Chains A and B, each alone.
Chain A
Amino acid sequence: MISAERSQSQSPRSPAAAGAPFLTISVTDPVKMGTGVQSYISYRVITKTNLPEFEGQEKIVIRRYSDFEWLHDRLAEKYKGIFIPPLPEKNAVEKFRFSKEFIEMRCQALDLFVNRIASHPELKQTEDFRIFLQADEEKMDRARSYETGIFKKPSDFLQMFKDVQSKVSDVVLGKEKPVEESTPEYEKLKNYIFELENHLAEAQKQAFRLVKRHRELGQSLADFGKAIKLLGACEGDSLEKVFSEVGSKSEMLSVKLQREADNLLFHFEEPLKDYVRSVQSIKATMVDRANAFRQHFDLDQERKYKELNLEKLKFMNPEKFSETEVEFRELKADSEEATKRFEHIVAVMEEELARFQEQKTADIGLAFHEFAKGQAKLAKDIADAWRSVLPKLEACSTS
């Protein structure tokens, strides 16, 4: 049973005080289901908790990637402003799709995903999260297809209509450029996020290459070791023996290099990739914020405009006035609503950013630690291996 490493280290320790609330989740045990084009991976999601909102102490459900996606999308829709924890990439190159590495990494990333939700003060209390963790497979299937299918909620239609409306009025009113919020602090933040992604992507790319280099060096060491052994066999006597030892060490180190390559991939490269995904999640939130801003701005403009008209109507056409006044009040309410939404996003983002920085420092700090640890161990193994064979070489005589 392959279990993501983090969940192992988080196996519930008995809470310090009995009754202290806990919620631990692990995503494990990826299993290939189905055949051919229809095949997919299913994961076991185990929830252990003593929180009253949940049904029972322990619940195990089977989920697939699209279920995780459903959860992500629902949360993203409803909780604008929050940096929704990122999902691992959806598609993979066909032949890579079911490789052991890929499956393990995805499992690890999904585990991280649910655990981040579980540790977010707001997200962990959502209904959607509870459904995800507890609903039986049938109910989950239904929920999922409802969302991704052709069923669009009526409110969506209204929203789209409104968007078109505001666009039209923009043109009519001569404001064609999309309006953006442009405070200096926010500008700075936007630039920071975009540039950060570039730097991280570059680091991740190099980390990935480094993994490959480890594999290549491992391979060439193995080949070299074999060749040295054969060379020694030609010489015979004492030389053959010592050559054979050197060759064996070479082959042994090749194995260690392959293992370190795996280690690097899981504990250094993947966290970097995760960092990139997190930043992309922030960018998505920024889009939401921009949309919210535009709505707030547009409705605000509209309200001001209508307010002026209303004043005129009061004196010129009292009958129409009361009708229009009702409309106006609705518009005012909408506008205030939109403004509240925007301001909410701004406030939430502030908190989220602080949280993000803290969390990232810990995540990446750990990744750096693992990187250094792995490299130190590898180099030590290399040094030890060669040191052990050196005295034999030096003692060897060629007479």
Chain B
Amino acid sequence: MMSSTALPELAAGDGDGYMTLSLAAATTASEYASVASTFDPLLSASPASPPTHAAFSLSPASSSFVDPPSYADVAASSSPHYASGSSSASPRSTRAAGSEYAFIAVSDPAPEAEPAATSLVPGSTPTYISYLVTSVRRGEQRRHAVRRRFRDFVTLADRLAEAFRGHFVPPRPDKNTVESQVMQRDEFVAQRRAALERYLCRLSEHPAIGPSDELRIFLQAEGKMPLPSSTDVASRMLDGAARLPRQLLGEETVSAPHDVVQPAKGGRDLLRIFKELKQSLVSDWAGVKPPVVEEDMEFLEKKQKLQDWEQQLTSASQQAEALVKAQQDMGETMGTLGLALIKLTKFETEEAMYGSQRIRAADSKRIATAAVKASRACRDLNTQTVKYLDTLHEHLGIMLSVHTAFNDRASALLTVQTLMSDLASLQSRIEKLEAAASKIFGGDRSRLRKVEELRETIRATEDAKCSALREYERIKENNRSELRRLDRERKVEMLEMLKGYVKSQAVYAEKIVEGWEIVEEETSGYARRADNLAW
């Protein structure tokens, strides 16, 4: 948990660049409490900026956190920040402690012109947004700062997906959400900036990806992004098409083993794409089983459990959203009620013709003040609730990467199986040719030559198969270790989430009790009078 409140885009020199991570969370609540009353999503120092804080997903509508002006003259005694002990360590603090990079920040979104752009409209050049990415690696002093655009993040994500098959690779922010169409530009950019920052932090915390070269290059290489951008499937198809005719003509080309090892969709071998598609279709026809036959029972059990988990998680995160909304509405309405009572108080005071009016005005003022305080507390509490329950959303994101990892495994297995069936068919062709050749006295020159070629192909395919098998085993092992990691971290984080939620609820409720009990006492005279009154 970041204990410093320094803004991420410090331009200062390297001396102050190294931030210490500490697990103390004492200042967190006060940060949130003070921020909550002035929260402006467009300020770059949003609560999400300390990189180890959980994602902060207040909807744009929550900019109503900025108090309407009349509250200023309402709160008789402004409530102190409900700081002490209202939060426990963030669920992610344990992960953050092992993060490869001590500090990562995304800031300063700025438009830049597209290079070599041909503008359709004379006088305007298409622009994109670039972000400043600053980072400090653990154990180092040097702060790196590079500019990256969203496309570069996509490239990074693609590279990581290829390099870390079988791992639970954190998913990157979406390209286009429905919301982005509706949102204002500034708001969208602010949201994207925060999401990109969270993404990089998660990458850094991943035990395998954090130390990776891909991430390091992304964070440190100055100038244009040096990682080769992924060619999309279409251009890959075109590439592959150049080789297609030769394959169709039966002149098998030997694929280099490492080419083979990548799943056909990512690679350039068009024919293999078709084959694997057919294979998976065939397996589908075989029954309502997954396209590949997974024999690892332990794995299948785990998978099933995760599916159950994901289902409950989805439902819980939906309920959490509804809960947050209900809490927010409660706070808002309580505040509006307080405001209405304030207006009534003012009115009665100004128009007072009787002494009883003044008494009434004093009463309504008490209630109004208590209501406004309760409203504030409710909204502050909601900030905390969002912070903790956001863990549910995060884990939904993790499940996405789990799916990808399992798909990596499935496609690796498919590759192995395809190659094995290739081998089988090659073998039977050889047998047929040999059988036919042996019938001709003295041998059939051309057929025997064919057999030789086929044997060559078999050897190459054998090599490919061995590579594919090794890759499959590697991915399986990644799955296994990642699953163990996920199990550990999940339990910890869920527990932390509940602890934080429960504690903040208790603390704020206690504050609210205080406010109301005072008014209850102050107005208790009416209750006594009502009891004694004989109508």
Contact = CB atoms under 8 A, between A and B. Distances in A.
A188 B364 CA distance: 22
A314 interface: no
Contact size range, A: 35 or more
Contacts of A235: 490-491, 494
Given A213-B333, A369-B526, A246 B312 contact: no
Contact of B509 (A188, A228, A239, A382): A382
B343 A199 contact: yes
A376 B530 contact: no
A362 B367 CA distance: 15
Q: Which of B305, B318, B319, B488 has the most CB of A within 10 A?
A: B319
Contacts of A205: 340
Given A235-B494, A383-B513, A227 B315 contact: yes
Given A234-B312, A357-B357, A398-B491, A217 B340 contact: no
A358 B326 CA distance: 38
Interface string A145-159: 000000000000000
Contacts of B341: 203
A168 interface: no
B177 interface: no
A300 interface: no
Interface string A359-381: 01110111011111101100110
A386 B505 CA distance: 7
Interface stretch (B149-157, B292-300, B515-523): B515-523
A9 B495 contact: no
B524 A369 contact: yes
A192 interface: yes
Interface in A211-264: 213-214, 216-217, 219-221, 223-224, 226-228, 230-231, 233-235, 239, 242-243, 246
A239 B305 CA distance: 16
A210 B334 contact: yes
A193 B494 CA distance: 57
A322 interface: no
Contacts of B316: 224, 227-228, 230-231
Interface stretch (A38-46, A56-64, A387-395): A387-395
A26 B461 CA distance: 97
A230 B326 contact: no
B360 A230 contact: no
B359 A361 contact: yes
B527 A369 contact: yes
A398 to B, nearest CB: 4
Q: Which of B308, B312, B327, B531 has the most CB of A within 10 A?
A: B312
A358 B333 CA distance: 29
A217 B330 contact: yes
Contacts of B462: none
Contacts of A196: 347-348
A380 B513 contact: yes
A286 to B, nearest CB: 16
Interface in B482-535: 488, 490-492, 494-495, 498-499, 502-503, 505-506, 509-510, 512-513, 516-517, 519-520, 523-527, 529-531, 533-535
Interface string A3-32: 000100110110000000010110000000
A199 B495 CA distance: 48
A162 interface: no
Contacts of A243: 494, 498
Given A224-B319, A362-B529, A383-B513, A368 B499 contact: no
B393 to A, nearest CB: 14
Contacts of B330: 210, 213-214, 216-217
B534 A13 contact: yes
A77 interface: no
Given A206-B333, A217-B327, A230-B316, A115 B535 contact: yes
A73 interface: no
B323 A396 contact: no
Contact of B360 (A118, A188, A203, A360): A360
A202 interface: yes
Interface in B297-311: 305, 308-309
A282 to B, nearest CB: 14
Given A200-B344, A364-B360, A376 B513 contact: yes
B485 to A, nearest CB: 13
A366 B516 contact: no
Contacts of B370: 372, 375
Nearest to A196: B347
B534 A24 contact: yes
A330 interface: no
A224 B317 CA distance: 9
Interface string B431-449: 0000000000000000000
A364 B356 CA distance: 11
A375 B518 CA distance: 11
Given A217-B326, A379-B516, A386-B503, A239 B495 contact: yes
B319 A119 contact: no
Contacts of A25: 535
Contacts of B326: 213, 216-217, 219-221
24 contacts: A10-B534, A203-B344, A213-B326, A213-B333, A221-B323, A224-B322, A227-B316, A227-B319, A228-B316, A228-B498, A230-B312, A233-B312, A234-B305, A365-B523, A365-B526, A368-B526, A369-B523, A373-B516, A375-B370, A382-B509, A386-B506, A389-B502, A390-B503, A393-B495
Interface of A: 6, 9-10, 12-13, 22, 24-25, 115, 118-119, 188-189, 192, 195-196, 199-200, 202-203, 205-207, 209-210, 213-214, 216-217, 219-221, 223-224, 226-228, 230-231, 233-235, 239, 242-243, 246, 353-354, 357-358, 360-362, 364-366, 368-373, 375-376, 379-380, 382-383, 386-387, 389-390, 393-394, 396, 398
Interface of B: 305, 308-309, 312-313, 315-316, 318-320, 322-323, 325-327, 329-330, 333-334, 336-337, 340-341, 343-344, 347-348, 351, 353-354, 356-357, 359-360, 363-364, 366-367, 370, 374, 488, 490-492, 494-495, 498-499, 502-503, 505-506, 509-510, 512-513, 516-517, 519-520, 523-527, 529-531, 533-535
